[in-house]
Structure 1
Amino acid sequence: MSLEMSVLLLWLVLIQEGSTIRPAVTFTPDYKKIFTSEQITMTCDVGSTLAEGMDYIWYRDSKQVYNGKSYIIQEAETSDSGSYQCQSRPGEISDPARLDVSNDYVILQTPLYVYEGDDIYIRCHHYPGYQEEQTRFYKDNSVITDWSDTAEYYIRDVTKMTAGRYRCEKIVNYYLSSSQNEDEVSVMVEDLFTTPTISVTPQPVITTDKMTLTCQTSLPPSPRHNTQLRIAFYREGGIVQGFGVSDTYEVYNVQLEDSGKYSCEVGTTDGRVRKRSAERIIQIEELFSPPVLKISPQFIHEGDNMTLRCNTNLNEHRNKDLQYAFYRDGRKIQGFNSDNKYEVQFIQEEHSGNYSCEIDTKQQDKEEESDTSCTRSHKVYTAEYWLVLIQEGAAIRPAVTFTPDYKKIFTTEKITMTCDGGSTTGEGMDYIWYRDSEEVYNGKSYIIQKAETSQSGSYQCQTRPGEVSDPARLEVSNGAVILQTPLYVYEGDEIHLFTAPTISVTPQPVITTDKMALTCQTSLPPPPRHNTQLRIAFYREGGIVQGFGVSDTYEVYNVQMEDSGKYSSGGFCELFVSSKTLKCHIHEEKF
């Protein structure tokens, strides 16, 4: 089998095994340039724990030259120059290490490896048998030490700035003659460890998860693979875990406020070399969306059945059981369980109040929790709804008004919508606005500064406590022309300003000597016409018996037979938009 085939088989072992530390070549003395006739020892360093029981092969310029852990050249020759590699068997092959053997008068010697944080000597060395005089050192063609008797230049705490072209000049004597000689080398500074990167698990990070940050870096092969490193973690520039041996930082039961820019820093124990990772933005996602409390039916009267639903959306990346609880006026009415609804049968006035729901991920009621070992609690979300039981003759139902009073406008135009609950009901109220049954705003007036077509819809407002208005339709157009009409039109339209009056009598039947009371009944629309001033008159057999006034009753004391007849009532209103009088009559009834 040829030597080339042997090398191939060894590389196949590398691919299949891949389990040992990659070796590195070291020189003793630690110079990568020497003179002819000098000795050098090359060692295959695989780490102290793996060195026993291994075979070693040495290569110069890819050709096998020796077997053994250390390769010693007793008296170097120029032919010994080359790129040396060693391989442990089984194991990997080292990176090349360049050795130069010179027979010049002067050489500039530098260490085989130069890493960040090292202390090194650069040596201006003369050929054995000659006598040295003074030496001068340069870096990048600038003098760094002038002529002196010192043949070494010391560099403490190497950094990347140390790299460059170094040169020395030296005067040497041989018998009675002297000469000035020089040599030049390039010094490259290797990374002691790579710039760290930070990673996070899981992906994505969702509230209540355990979040783990890992700081990743790597050391070079031997001889620096055992360098002790310390790692710290930062959030928004502030330290969250000080320097230590752990490469992870964990946050249990993570919450939204744990979002931010995270980074890590790696350093040597002496602090000479420190590197920080780039910042990583971590945005914690909600486990579930903020809840919305829905009630049905929308308008509740005494005796109705009511259902409250606490609605949310669970994050698509998690499958967890959610728990729901319900409250009225801050008091729990249904403890945490998996049912997101609360039902009340045959609702009564005492059921009115401020309802809310909470959502959590815990399996037990929060009030019954006994585990106090965790210093952080699960995030709890709350939604509220103010329920007012609707009773006959209760508060005035609000109405929506537009300013300007047009139910169709152009895009970019401004419109103000006001929730008119009547002058006596406006103080101390909260207002909620809905568009197509979806809540859009809180406040008495909802102002759209620059209308868009997407803001077209049926608007309703609700006073809290109070009722919900009838829908008021707004159309936002981007057409060339629109026909604008008021939101409400009463007199002269098919819509009556007030209902046709009816007449009633008490007592029933009416007996002579009784006090007979006739009542004229009608009703006005919600605001803005609810304050319209009405006048009422009463008639008997077509003749007026009580002229127009504010009273809706006509009374006859000590009634007699001759008071029998056909009675009716009539009403009119003083309209704010015209001076016309509207008379309303009813069918006559015989008493």
Structure 2
Amino acid sequence: MAVAITRSTEDDGKTSETPGLGSAGIAGLEGAGTARLGMQDHRAVLSVSPQKWLTEGDPVTLICEVNGSSTGWTFSWFTGTADYRDFFQLLSDSSRGAGGKYTVSSAELNHTGVYVCRAEKGKPASKTGYSNIQQLWITGVSPPVSLIISPSRTQHFTSVSLSLSCEDQSNSDGWTVRRYTDIGRLEDCSSFLRGSQTGSTCTIRSTSTSDTGVYWCQSESGENYHPVNITVHSGVILESPVHPVTEGDHLTLRCLYKYTTVSNLSADFYKDGSLIQNQTTEMIIPTVSKSHEGFYYCKHPDRGESPKSWISVRERLKPKVTIKPDHHVFRGETVTLRCDIYDGGVTSWRYNWYKDGSTSVFSERQEHTFSSVTESDAGKYSCYGTETEGSRSSHLSDEVTLTVSVPRADLSVSPQKWLTEGDPVTLICEVNGSSTGWTFSWFTETFSSESRNDYELLSDSSRGAGGKYTVSSADLNHTGVYVCRAERDKTAVYTTYSNTQPLWVTGVSPPVSLIISPSRTQHFTSVSLSLSCEDQSNSDGWTVRRYTDSGWLEDCSSFLRGSQTGSTCTIRSTVPSDTGVYWCQSESGENYHPVNITVHSGVILESPVHPVTEGDHLTLRCLYKYTTVSNLSADFYKDGSLIQNQTTEMIIPTVSKSHEGFYYCKHPDRGASPKSWISVRGSHSDSQISVLHILSSALAACPYLIVTVVLIYKCCRMRGKTPE
């Protein structure tokens, strides 16, 4: 929606188009407009906070008020468009300017432009005239296009030729030079007096003071970039840079006069109204700092003084270091360090890389790549840039830390490693605390006479994707020792094998039982221990295996002081290192009936090898090898709590599920026994009820089965007697 702003002439009732929106023009427009509406006392006034010259990313707010207030009014917001007349385009997001404030939290380069506002209230709506004009000029560190001015300065003489070109990195056409003059006119180059545009270059053939204003580049899609304030003057001018000066740069200012044989005048130089250097042909600041920012002008005793020019000082550029693929990588991966210096005014940089604060340069490329990173490459990296064809330089970048570690696989079990047949269980493999970006393999540890670290890949290893290998219903033959290993996707980076995790699966009626003699789970040192695998047919072919607390996986024949005869394993003289989980393995590799056995040199607890059934009688005793009595008078504990004290045995006449837990005993002089887990399973009566239920169901169905069979038989006989 484009709106033409018009002036009403009250003398003859005619309407004419406003030729321009200078301060006088807009005031007249507002007065006439409000007179027609009968709202002479209501005037929209637009202001800008904090300022109209901004750097990309700065916040800015346009504030519209009617008679000093915004209460009760609804506001509309417009930008100016190029034409000989003054047209305004309603902003597409005008509605966000509610309450009289249109706020831009982070100014972009294309916010450059001229703005007005308007207010209305009531039903039917009564409207104010358009407000005064406010401009926003946004400069950027690296705009996509630069406005190149020739001669390269912001102040120019009258009656000379001036060239303004919009140049982007590809030097493509499609850019238009626009300006907003001091007399309030918004124009394209083709509308300038004595102006013409060829491609993206605008030429003013003979400048005049009316050419003073802000010039910028506009793209074909309407985006505005790189505003520059240009002054045309008939007397003395100041030669100052078009672009902001960078901290550390060299700055030279000169005072010029068109009608003189010398290139520059000997004059006084002022900053912010204060004399800083007098009677010199040029003022030199060898190293610019932020304190040098301000308004400068020069003054000749006879020729007069120049207009003022604002010299902006921007901070020296600071490079940014990035690390790909990540700041934390694993040994063997490819890592790339990159140094970026964002500045549109410099086409080429020379880079210096430093590590851990050293002054030695280890690379001069923008990107430095480690093809196979090692722990020695870890450290803090920074970079620094100098202009290849110039004197500009950057700050040293902030340090960025590269961490290199050995990929370590860690295996855990959820919910627990001791299971009952049918329970679900999950093995969880993580690499340094994460499973992202890795492919996992799953193994069981196998026995070898040459090495204890032989691993066999699980046939269904592929189902362990995402770092989790899940068994929904554990079988007895899932008993074993597991490890995992991970490989980094799209790289040749492998972890070592993880820690081991055992799974122990017990069943109600396993096909084989591990018979231990003496029949208990805790045993003294230096005694003989017998372990036999017995199935229903008492056949041979079973091997006793164990996994000790020190992580050894062994067959009985490899035990220290161990030997196997048939399916019986004998340890001639026990030691504490015999502590571990023991089970039976068939010739085909199936594992059954794991039992946790503890060998201890002091007090031990006599407790049953197999789970206790609900309703059974349970007796626990505290034993000591070096005593004449068979058992000690001791205190008994369950899950850390004292449950019976100073008794030779603890008796539970009728076991229930609540009795399941960790038990141990403690003698005041001999010390405490290790802990033993006592498991409680469902009662026999439950099994009997189950069997009786099956039998009764089968018997109930029998009469129906018999009747059905008889009917089928008779039917077949009758069909056989039917004549053809």
What is the TM-score of this pair, normalised by structure 1?
0.46
Which structure shows the higher helix fraction?
2
What is the TM-score of this pair, normalised by structure 2?
0.39
